[in-house]
């Protein structure tokens, strides 16, 4: 587009979404590469599921009374009349894929990771988007609290490798189906007693699922929730023991953490362990990652009785904490003057790229001087100059843009000449 006018409002990016442009995307690539490398060291493998899923997956998996399902899903009916949802979270997709492909029968560890976009129709603000990106990891088929500790240690290790400092790890247990009913009764009674002081949304939650009041972002509701009964006072022996062993493992692995009895996380499927890593002054927007155990989810989806545990890390929030500048790229800018030089430059660029070097060639009609200025402006490490004299003499010029040193090199010797210089 030639016009300098911004696109009309109809054509601008959808509210709550954003473009990740060159200059910024290098940081994303670095974080993603680091995460993949680390997860593979822990035996995780990538599992890529579709962006769209049947809506029922989230009704059953995420939970019908969660904020995600009641308010935040991008749901539409496709041309066949089927209700489809853009995934708001990843765990149900992994559970579905395991059931669908019977991955549990393969005998391989069910440790999966994925990095990609999620969609929630939430109120956009700093750190909260409608299309955001998560690094998601899941372990299925492992009941031991040591696995919960192992994944928290893995998350902690990723943050440290990326140079993130000043985070806090909060842990809690939300119990299981044996210990939750008694807690649910007391919680409901207490919530009913303060119903008038809760927001409209939370008043509905008193009946539907009082645990979800803890997810409310309204300060008045949060203040009330701080005085609600604590789930940790209701845990059955098995859950209490699981939580104690989880914390013991974290200590052994050297992961500092703090129990937070009000932490319940916004999803219905959690059982026993839950955790969050927060940055800055705390609060919802500062949760860089959250996760926990979901021992009943697979069963609830109609699959085999396989337990699970995992976490999701928000990439936008993680990247906002990083203080990294992308490394300047080392590349060769090819300067060509004349028709024959243009085709020779194209061949030289192909050869450089085939040998693993970045080579940039532009075809706008420009003289030597303006191409040289471009090479400078773009920060090329080297310029390869091919003009009429160079073609006639059978020697190209290779110029070090930093020092200004220039050498004559035979065309077939260019790759050999530049390789050690670009790598060094
Ligand atoms: P959740 O799937 O809600 O447990 O969230 C896991 C992590 O994803 C959070 O700790 C955030 O870092 C990130 N996250 C969740 N919702 C959003 C959003 N709307 N925008 C940006 N990041 C989000």
Mutate which of 132, 172, 311 for ligand 1? The one with the most ligand atoms within 8 Å of its CB, which is 132
Residue 43, both tokens: 């035996």
Q: Is the pLDDT of residue 8 over 80?
A: no
Residue 281: pLDDT band (50, 70, 90) is low
Closest Cα to atom 17, ligand 1: which residue?
A: 128
Atom of ligand 1 nearest to the CA of 317: 12
DSSP for 232-281 reads GGS--HHHHHHHHHHHHHHHHTT---EE-TT---S-TT-EEEEEEEEETT
Calculate mean pLDDT across residues 309-329. 90
Binding site membership of 279 for ligand 1 (Cβ less than 6 Å): no
Q: Is the pLDDT of residue 56 over 60?
A: yes
C-alpha distances (whole Å) from 143 to each of 2, 41, 148, 185, 255 are 60, 21, 9, 27, 20
Q: Say what percent of the chain tops pLDDT 70.
A: 96
What integer pLDDT is reported at residue 159 of this predicted model? 96
Beta bridge partner(s), residue 167:
279
Average predicted confidence (pLDDT) for the chain: 92
What integer pLDDT is reported at residue 257 of this predicted model? 97
Whether the pTM exceeds 0.85: the reply is yes
Whole-number Å distance, alpha carbon 292 to ligand 1 midpoint, is 14
Residues in the chain: 424
Closest Cα to atom 15, ligand 1: which residue?
A: 314
Q: Is the pLDDT of residue 1 over 50?
A: no
Backbone angles phi, psi at 113, to 5 degrees: -135, 160
Whole-number Å distance, alpha carbon 189 to ligand 1 midpoint, is 30
Residue 249: pLDDT band (50, 70, 90) is very high
Atom of ligand 1 nearest to the CA of 134: 8
Q: Is the pLDDT of residue 2 over 60?
A: no
Query: Which residues in 30-62 are b (16+ Cβ under 10 Å) and which e?
Result: bbeeebeebbeebebeebebeeebebebbbbbb
Q: Is the pLDDT of residue 282 over 60?
A: no
Whole-number Å distance, alpha carbon 286 to ligand 1 midpoint, is 9
Whole-number Å distance, alpha carbon 316 to ligand 1 midpoint, is 9
Higher pLDDT: 4 or 176? It is 176
Whole-number Å distance, alpha carbon 313 to ligand 1 midpoint, is 7
Q: How far apart are CA 359 and CA 365, in angstroms?
A: 18
Q: Is the pLDDT of residue 6 over 70?
A: no
Calculate mean pLDDT across residues 309-315. 97
Q: Is the pLDDT of residue 234 over 90?
A: yes
Q: Say what percent of the chain tops pLDDT 90.
A: 78
Residue 121: pLDDT band (50, 70, 90) is very high
Mutate which of 28, 317, 318 for ligand 1? The one with the most ligand atoms within 8 Å of its CB, which is 317
Is residue 64 helix, strand or coil? coil
Burial level of 93, CB count in 10 A (0-12/13-18/19+)? buried
Mutate which of 63, 130, 131, 287 for ligand 1? The one with the most ligand atoms within 8 Å of its CB, which is 287
> How many other CB atoms are found less than 10 A from the CB of residue 138?
25
Q: How far apart are CA 122 and CA 316, in angstroms?
A: 15
Binding site membership of 288 for ligand 1 (Cβ less than 6 Å): yes
């Amino acid at each position: 587009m030639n016009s300098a006018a911004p696109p009309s409002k109809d054509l601008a990016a959808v509210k709550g979404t954003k473009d990740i442009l060159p200059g910024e995307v290098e940081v994303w690539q670095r974080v993603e590469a680091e995460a993949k490398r680390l997860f593979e060291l822990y035996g995780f493998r990538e599992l890529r599921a579709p962006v769209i899923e049947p809506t029922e997956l989230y009704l059953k998996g995420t939970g019908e009374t969660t904020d995600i399902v009641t308010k935040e899903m991008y749901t539409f009916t496709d041309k066949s009349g089927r209700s489809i949802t853009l995934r708001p979270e990843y765990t149900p997709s992994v559970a579905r894929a395991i059931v669908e492909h019977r991955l549990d029968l393969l005998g391989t560890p069910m440790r999966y990771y994925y990095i990609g976009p999620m969609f929630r129709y939430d109120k956009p603000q700093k750190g909260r988007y409608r299309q955001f990106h998560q690094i998601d990891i899941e372990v299925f088929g492992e009941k031991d609290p040591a696995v919960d500790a192992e994944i928290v240690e893995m998350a902690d290790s990723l943050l440290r490798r990326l140079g993130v400092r000043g985070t806090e790890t909060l842990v809690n247990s939300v119990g299981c189906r044996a210990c939750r009913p008694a807690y649910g009764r007391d919680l409901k009674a207490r919530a009913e007693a303060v119903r008038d002081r809760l927001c409209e949304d939370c008043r509905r939650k008193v009946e539907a699922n009082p645990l979800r009041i803890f997810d409310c972002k309204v300060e008045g509701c949060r203040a009330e929730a701080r005085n609600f009964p604590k789930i940790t006072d209701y845990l059955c022996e098995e859950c209490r023991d699981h939580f104690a062993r989880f914390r013991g493992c974290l200590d052994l692995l050297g992961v500092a953490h703090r129990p937070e009895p009000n932490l319940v996380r916004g999803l219905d499927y959690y059982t026993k362990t839950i955790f969050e890593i927060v940055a800055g002054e705390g609060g919802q927007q500062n949760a860089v990652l959250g996760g926990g155990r979901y021992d009943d989810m697979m069963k609830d989806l109609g699959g085999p009785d396989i337990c699970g545990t995992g976490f999701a890390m928000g990439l936008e929030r993680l990247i906002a904490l990083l203080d990294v500048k992308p490394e300047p790229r080392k590349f060769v800018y090819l300067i060509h003057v004349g028709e024959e030089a243009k085709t020779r430059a194209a061949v030289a660029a192909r050869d450089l790229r085939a040998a693993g070097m970045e080579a940039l060639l532009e075809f706008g009609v420009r003289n030597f001087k303006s191409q040289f200025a471009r090479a400078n402006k773009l920060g090329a490490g080297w310029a390869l100059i091919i003009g009429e004299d160079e073609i006639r003499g059978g020697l190209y010029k290779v110029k070090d843009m930093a020092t200004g040193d220039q050498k004559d090199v035979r065309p077939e010797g260019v790759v050999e000449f530049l390789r050690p210089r670009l790598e060094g």
